[in-house]
């Protein structure tokens, strides 16, 4: 009986190819995890409504470094979604409206297909909505003002908050929610990411100096924000 495939998730708080056209260190980190010189990578731009400009930026960033494809779910989706996702080395989820993305995924069964891909060893990653979705809950602007989202995929326990230093209201909103009983979890600045192996946090990395990651919880009625060690990528 063979060893169980290594399940990995790299959850990015912000940054990546759309924000760093000159080259994202976080993206390079994820590509290197595959151990292949030209890995297969599939982009899911669902949260942006399959925005054409976002898809173009993905191919500009990855077309020469990987076997890049994207999965569109608006219009008429392809019929081999499950085989496409499970055949990848990396699945990359873009930013946008997290709630809409999760709803569309569930209509097409992509939530189940992503779990199957993860169980087979496909590396799951993403930024913003692509950070929140892997957790049970998160802080989102999907409904307009920042609010709680409580129906994430739940591959990882707890909650997540991206853009912790990039948007003024993220930190106070997340802390207020956690203080009121929202699941404890992780916050990541733009340019920082959490790398999970299985469901355990393995390491935190950053594409720029000063980008931080935090564990956010409560002690009594006090919110406790604990900075985690972060390795700045060269």
- Percent of the chain clearing pLDDT 70 (strictly above): 98
Give SS3 for 69. Answer: strand
pLDDT at 65: 94
> How high does pLDDT run on average in the chain?
95
Q: What is the pLDDT of residues 124-153, one digit of tens each?
A: 999 999 999 999 999 999 999 999 999 999
Confidence of residue 19 (pLDDT cuts 50, 70, 90): confident
For the chain, which residues make up each domain, given as ranges?
Answer: 8-171+189-213
pLDDT at 16: 87
| Identified catalytic residue from 24, 128, 142, 159 | 128
pTM recorded for the entire structure = 0.96
pLDDT at 18: 82
User: What is the C-alpha to C-alpha distance for residues 192 and 36, in angstroms, rounded to an integer?
Assistant: 23
Annotated catalytic residue 70? no
Phi first, then psi: give them for residue 114, nearest 5 degrees: -65, -40
Phi first, then psi: give them for residue 29, nearest 5 degrees: -60, -45
What is the number of H-type helices and E-type strands within the chain? Answer: 7, 14
Q: In what order do the strands lie in the sheet with 8-12?
A: 67-70, 40-44, 90-93, 123-127, 8-12, 192-197, 200-206, 231-232
pLDDT average, residue stretch 149-171: 96
Residue whose C-alpha is closest to residue 208's, from 19, 17, 26: 26
Instruction: Give the torsion through C-alpha atoms of 31, 37, 38, 41, to 10 deg.
Output: -20
CATH classification (class only), 8-171+189-213: alpha beta
Annotated catalytic residue 142? no
Q: In what order do the strands lie in the sheet with 213-219?
A: 147-149, 135-140, 156-161, 185-188, 213-219, 222-227
C-beta separation of 47 from 97 below 8 A: yes
Residue whose C-alpha is closest to residue 47's, from 68, 78, 17, 74: 74
pLDDT at 109: 96
CB-CB neighbours of 141 under 10 Å:
20
Separation of CA 106 from chain center: 17
Is the confidence at residue 1, as pLDDT, over 60? no
| Identified catalytic residue from 16, 24, 142, 163 | 163
Q: What is the pLDDT of residues 47-70, one digit of tens each?
A: 999 999 999 999 999 999 999 999
Is the confidence at residue 76, as pLDDT, over 90? no
pLDDT average, residue stretch 32-40: 97
pLDDT at 100: 98
Angle subtended by helix axes 98-108 and 110-119, to nearest 10: 90
């Amino acid at each position: 009986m063979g060893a169980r495939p290594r399940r990995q998730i790299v959850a990015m708080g912000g940054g990546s190819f759309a924000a760093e056209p000159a080259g994202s260190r976080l993206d390079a980190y994820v590509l290197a995890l595959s151990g292949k010189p030209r890995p297969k990578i599939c982009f899911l731009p669902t949260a942006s409504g399959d925005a054409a400009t976002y898809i173009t930026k993905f191919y500009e960033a990855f077309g020469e470094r990987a076997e890049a494809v994207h999965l569109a779910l608006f219009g008429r989706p392809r019929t081999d979604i499950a085989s496409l996702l499970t055949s990848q080395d990396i699945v990359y989820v873009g930013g946008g409206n997290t709630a809409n993305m999760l709803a569309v995924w569930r209509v097409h069964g992509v939530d189940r297909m992503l779990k199957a891909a993860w169980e087979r060893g496909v590396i799951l990653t993403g930024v913003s909505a692509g950070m929140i979705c892997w957790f049970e809950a998160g802080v989102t602007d999907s409904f307009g003002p920042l609010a709680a989202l409580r129906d994430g995929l739940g591959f990882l326990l707890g909650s997540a908050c991206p853009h912790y230093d990039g948007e003024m209201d993220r930190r106070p909103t997340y802390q207020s929610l956690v203080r009121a009983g929202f699941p404890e979890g992780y916050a990541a600045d733009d340019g920082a990411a959490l790398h999970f192996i299985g469901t355990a946090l393995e390491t935190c990395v950053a594409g720029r100096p000063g980008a931080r990651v935090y564990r956010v919880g409560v002690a009594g009625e006090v919110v406790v924000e604990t900075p985690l060690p972060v390795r700045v990528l060269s």
